[in-house]
Amino acid sequence: MKVLAETPPAVNDHGDADGVQFHIGAATSLQERRPRTLKHGDSFAVYDANGDILAGDGSPDGLYFRDTRHLSKLYLAINSQRPILLSSGLRDDNAALICDLTNPDLEAADGEPALRHDHIHIRRVRILWDATAYERVVVRNFDDRPRRLTLSFSYAADFADVFEVRGSHRARRGNMLEPTVENDCVAFAYLGLDGERRETHLRFDPAPTTVTPARAEFVLDLAAGETRLLFMEASCKRDRPTSRPVRHSFFVAMRNARRALRVSSSAAASVATSNDTLNEALRRSVSDLYMLITETENGPYPYAGIPWFSTVFGRDGIITALQTLWLDPNIALGVLRHLAANQAEEVDDFADAEPGKILHELRHSEMAELGEVPFRRYYGSIDATPLFVILAGAYLDRTDDAESIRAIWPNVEAALLWMDKYGDRDRDGWIEYGRRAESGLANQGWKDSYDSIFHADGQLARGSIALVEVQAYAYGAWMAASAIAQRLGFTERAAQLSSRAEAFKRRFDMQFFDEDLGTYVLALDGEKKACRVRSSNAGHVLYTGLALPERARSVCAHLMSGASFSGFGIRTVASTEARYNPMSYHNGSVWPHDTALVAAGFARYGFRHEAARIFEAIFAASSYMDLRRLPELFCGFPRRSGTGPVFYPVACSPQAWATGALLCMVQSCLGLKFEPRERIIRLERPILPEFIDALTLRRLRLPTGTLDLSLTRAKTDVLVHVAGREGDVRVETAF
């Protein structure tokens, strides 16, 4: 998602060109490795399907805390051999990873007879809580005779910065300190160049038979049918108390993890359908959403994605909050408050910061602290600031929580001022980007690959670039700010903002709509030459309402054509364009969140059947995904009968705005809107796609009460029934 350096050209973090400073290596595919992820707060863990951590080239495996890998190896063996995988999966609520294993064929040793496979069952249960990974290992002998086995854990801690794991090379590193070993614990430590001491503590219960800085062994004498339990914890905290037995801590952590996930999602609405496979995908989306949410000092914030972006990203958090606003407005409020608290107040070239600008990325790693990467507190995105204002207006529309919005109104005004003073770099009326320092991101829209903004002949756009979707966000920001101002009693300011937005709409159409293309151009370059490229960005113009009504049908037709619609979603760039590559990061791939915003734009202009087709496409894609989990992106090859989408090798999964895609499309197809001041929940021309016969929404919440709705498809119509009501709230349906 993020990029640097122009000669060699600056590129995205996924490394679309040689010589990139902060690329993500792709020696192997994450899909091939089937990683299993857990997250809590500022820590996350990536395991393979066996529950092991096997770091190495192309592997993101590890236990991470605040952007540093605290455990780079954790390998379970039975008699020095790797167990055979039986199954591996996450609980539905993401509270635990459960791996079932069995023994391979084991040769005779120490007088013991040979042991054939499938006689020893090993169940590993993993939990992540409070920067500590807990594990319970249950070993059961299903043989009809006693068995002596050696179960061993091999481990290591490299304290690699997350940017090192992604492929960056450092000229110097800090000092690895000597591990310390006791009868039941091992401690690793690293003194970074930033002066920070980072530690990892392993504890075992019961104490291993032998323990070294690299390995712990348990010699187990198991009677026929006997079960033995082993416990381990790996803590990333220096001050972790060690008086409590690990087995006790495991069960406390399990209770806390399940309770926290249950409580965090308790205020959210729920959706269930007649399609069991869709229900699985929706449940996974909601579970992933709440796993990715971290409680900050300002409220809940969805971290962008695992493994590469498990931290605060402004753009990602805002879009995720917009997608899920109907489900849980508390997420949006947490995002607004946290971004307001971190809004830039001064010019800082290295951080691409300017007064009023909204945060792009926040990091805590050693490389960030030292300035080896600019992302410690980085503001290099052109769109987060207007999107922040859009979210503020949408939250007010959804909740009528005027007091919370009044508290951040100065931040909204500061964002609007930034758009005028810094966003419009050459005072031509467009919002454009250009980095303040060579270390900053070269492209600063959501498509930030080095080659994602180009002309029809494939030449890269140069200079300060005005992206089409950013103009749409600017329009949406002025309209949202106008509505906020009106609600807060600032009527003169409201009229000023509304007038500006309407004038901008007319001017935008003349400059950005291309009659020959039949859609909006991708961008204007620094010389105001149009990048005449068909792209998904045009759909965002529909999303914010900037498109003139007479343009919408043409834009919709272009995006639903075979060149743009892959059958599994909307391609970022149409297959007709010069730089089209379905395996690229931004030039022909499919991003679920992007596709969902396009569908929302279609619905806004009345194209609900097209929105329903997109819903079916993304749902179909999810049905082929491990755990029904939509990844950050997948390749844009055409859909073929009986086969699923082609995976992108290093896509984050889960990714916050991908978790919101299906949820957003539920709202788009139902035309679901909230009018809290009138105590109305409204359905505008609802449609149910053909793969859904019935749908139930529960706990749709307004300040005055909640509503449960049941919808049933009857040929081309939708029947709406109030299934439950608490308080003063009613439903209105318009067909």
- The CATH class of 671-735 is mainly beta
With a CB cutoff of 8 Å and minimum separation 6, the contacts of 240 are 132, 201
Residue among 298, 316, 325, 261 at smallest CA distance from 656: 316
Question: In 6-98, which residue ranges form alpha helices assigned H by DSSP?
Answer: 30-33
- Residue 255 tokens read as 């209770």
Q: Whole-angstrom Cα distance, residue 640 to residue 618?
A: 14
Q: Whole-angstrom Cα distance, residue 208 to residue 624?
A: 42
- Report the SS3 class of residue 531: strand
pLDDT score recorded for residue 240: 62
11 has pLDDT over 50: no
- Report the SS3 class of residue 719: strand
Q: Whole-angstrom Cα distance, residue 544 to residue 381?
A: 19
pLDDT, the chain, mean: 93
| H or E element in which residue 725 lies | strand 717-727
Q: Whole-angstrom Cα distance, residue 157 to residue 40?
A: 20
With a CB cutoff of 8 Å and minimum separation 6, the contacts of 67 are 161, 162, 311, 363, 364, 365, 368
- In this structure, are residues 359 and 314 in contact, taking their beta carbons and an 8 Å threshold? yes
Report how far Cα 214 is from the mean position of its chain's Cα atoms: 34
Residue among 605, 731, 612, 608 at smallest CA distance from 674: 731
Q: Whole-angstrom Cα distance, residue 567 to residue 582?
A: 13
- In this structure, are residues 115 and 106 in contact, taking their beta carbons and an 8 Å threshold? yes
Q: What is the DSSP letter of 627?
A: G
- Residue 214 tokens read as 């690299």
pTM of this prediction? 0.94
- Rounded to 10 deg, the angle between the 608-623 and 592-604 helix axes is 160
pLDDT score recorded for residue 431: 98
pLDDT score recorded for residue 271: 97
164 has pLDDT over 80: yes
442 has pLDDT over 60: yes
Stretch 116-144: mean pLDDT: 96
7 has pLDDT over 60: no
161 to each of 367, 510, 589, how far by Cα in Å?
7, 48, 29
Residue 99: strand pairing partners: 88, 124
pLDDT score recorded for residue 27: 52
With a CB cutoff of 8 Å and minimum separation 6, the contacts of 527 are 462, 463
With a CB cutoff of 8 Å and minimum separation 6, the contacts of 48 are 33, 34, 35, 36, 54, 61
Cis peptide before 410 (omega within 30 of 0): no
Which architecture does CATH list for 37-262? Distorted Sandwich (2.70)
pLDDT score recorded for residue 8: 30
Number of H helices, E strands in the chain: 16, 33
pLDDT in tens, 566-596: 999 999 999 999 999 999 999 999 999 999 9
- Rounded to 10 deg, the angle between the 656-670 and 276-292 helix axes is 130
Q: Whole-angstrom Cα distance, residue 360 to residue 299?
A: 18
Q: How confident is the model at residue 121 (pLDDT cuts 50, 70, 90)?
A: very high
Q: Within 10 A of 491 (CB to CB), how many other CB atoms are there?
A: 10
Largest CA distance in the chain: 91
Strand 293-296 versus strand 197-205 pairing type: unpaired
Q: How confident is the model at residue 30 (pLDDT cuts 50, 70, 90)?
A: low
- Rounded to 10 deg, the angle between the 329-341 and 314-323 helix axes is 160
Q: How confident is the model at residue 9 (pLDDT cuts 50, 70, 90)?
A: very low
Strand 36-40 versus strand 62-65 pairing type: unpaired
What are the domain boundaries of the chain? 37-262, 265-670, 671-735
Q: Whole-angstrom Cα distance, residue 695 to residue 712?
A: 7
Q: How confident is the model at residue 186 (pLDDT cuts 50, 70, 90)?
A: very high
- Report the SS3 class of residue 292: helix
Residue among 232, 200, 224, 221 at smallest CA distance from 150: 221
pLDDT score recorded for residue 266: 87
pLDDT in tens, 65-118: 999 999 999 999 999 999 999 999 999 999 999 999 999 999 876 666 788 999
- Rounded to 10 deg, the angle between the 537-544 and 468-488 helix axes is 20
Stretch 221-236: mean pLDDT: 97
Residue entry with tokens 């590129």: 11
Q: How confident is the model at residue 31 (pLDDT cuts 50, 70, 90)?
A: low
Q: How confident is the model at residue 28 (pLDDT cuts 50, 70, 90)?
A: low
Phi-psi region of 474 (alpha: psi -120 to 50; beta: other; left: phi over 0): alpha
- In this structure, are residues 387 and 319 in contact, taking their beta carbons and an 8 Å threshold? yes
- Report the SS3 class of residue 418: helix
Q: Whole-angstrom Cα distance, residue 311 to residue 303?
A: 5
pLDDT score recorded for residue 241: 58
Q: Sign (positive/negative) of CA torsion 481, 483, 487, 490?
A: positive
Residue entry with tokens 């995908």: 281
pLDDT-above-90 percentage for the chain: 89
- In this structure, are residues 672 and 733 in contact, taking their beta carbons and an 8 Å threshold? no
pLDDT in tens, 487-536: 999 999 999 999 999 999 999 999 999 999 999 999 999 999 999 999 99
- In this structure, are residues 378 and 312 in contact, taking their beta carbons and an 8 Å threshold? no
pLDDT score recorded for residue 592: 98
Residue among 612, 591, 589, 590 at smallest CA distance from 600: 612
Q: Whole-angstrom Cα distance, residue 694 to residue 716?
A: 13
Residue entry with tokens 């089209």: 580
Q: Sign (positive/negative) of CA torsion 277, 278, 283, 287?
A: positive
With a CB cutoff of 8 Å and minimum separation 6, the contacts of 369 are 192, 194, 196, 376
Q: Within 10 A of 151 (CB to CB), how many other CB atoms are there?
A: 22
6 has pLDDT over 50: no
How is domain 265-670 classified at the CATH fold level?
Answer: Glycosyltransferase (1.50.10)
- Residue 514 tokens read as 């291309």
User: Where do the DSSP E strands lie in 72-165?
Assistant: 73-78, 84-90, 97-102, 120-129, 132-141, 147-156
1 has pLDDT over 70: no
